[in-house]
Amino acid sequence: MALALTVLGCAGPASSARTGDVEALRAEVRALRADNERLRGEVDALERRVDFLAAKRARPAEQARTDAAPAAAAPVVPPDLAVVKVGPHQGGRRPPPVPTAVPIAEPAPERLDALAPPGGRDLAAEAEGELAAAHRRDGLDRAHALEDFARRYPRHPSADNALVEAAAAYAAGGREDAACGLAGRAAEDYPAGDAVSDALERLASCESRRGDPAAELRLLRRLVTDYPRSPAAERAGARLAAMQRSGP
């Protein structure tokens, strides 16, 4: 019995010491493994940064100048990115990868021209050519050409003026009904255009010819009130004065 107690007394402390050493070594291994994973994540981030810089240096000089400001800035990190600290208790878990920001480069002007709808510039040049050709004509030919121009290019900046000019040409050629119709189109279809005052003056003349002085008076007053600085408003004011002098 005494011998057994002696053996147990000798074996107990030594066994506990060895167990503590093993646990310490395991803890050290876990710590080293975590440090290794952290270093591996940093190396991966550095490799991505090096790849990005190498790809940027391979771009043409003009593109490199465009990207210079974004590349010099610090990497953009999303605001909702969670920072995870890897400790020994997490074992072999790797931290989440940090996305690398990619600078946005504006496309070159020549590429924008290539992406534009084909024939856009040719269409504008064609419209200007047709308008110039219509202005070179006289009489009813001029009226027809200007009316056709406004029909073919209704969004052209001079479409409303073309309608008013065509109305004047029709009136000069004795086509009063056609002139009144185009003046009404110009005032209705282009209420914000710079030809509205001339269109209203033409419509007032149409009402006078039709024998409707009330409608003429209404148009003349609108012209004077809404477009007071236009030449058509000055003529409308003179017409209003004459109507007042010849009133009942």
Q: Tell me what pLDDT residue 37 has.
A: 81
Tokens coding 127: 């419209």
Q: Highest-confidence range of 85-89, 91-95, 166-170, by mean pLDDT?
A: 166-170
Q: Tell me what pLDDT residue 7 has.
A: 38
Ramachandran area for residue 100 (φ above 0: left; ψ -120 to 50: alpha; else beta): beta
Task: Give SS3 for 242.
Answer: helix
Tokens coding 69: 């400001």
pTM of the model: 0.51
Q: Tell me what pLDDT residue 38 has.
A: 81
pLDDT digits (tens, 9 = 90+) for 128-171: 999 999 999 999 999 999 999 999 999 999 999 999 999 999 99
- Please name each of the domains of the chain with its CATH number: 15-106 (no CATH), 120-245 (1.25.40.10)
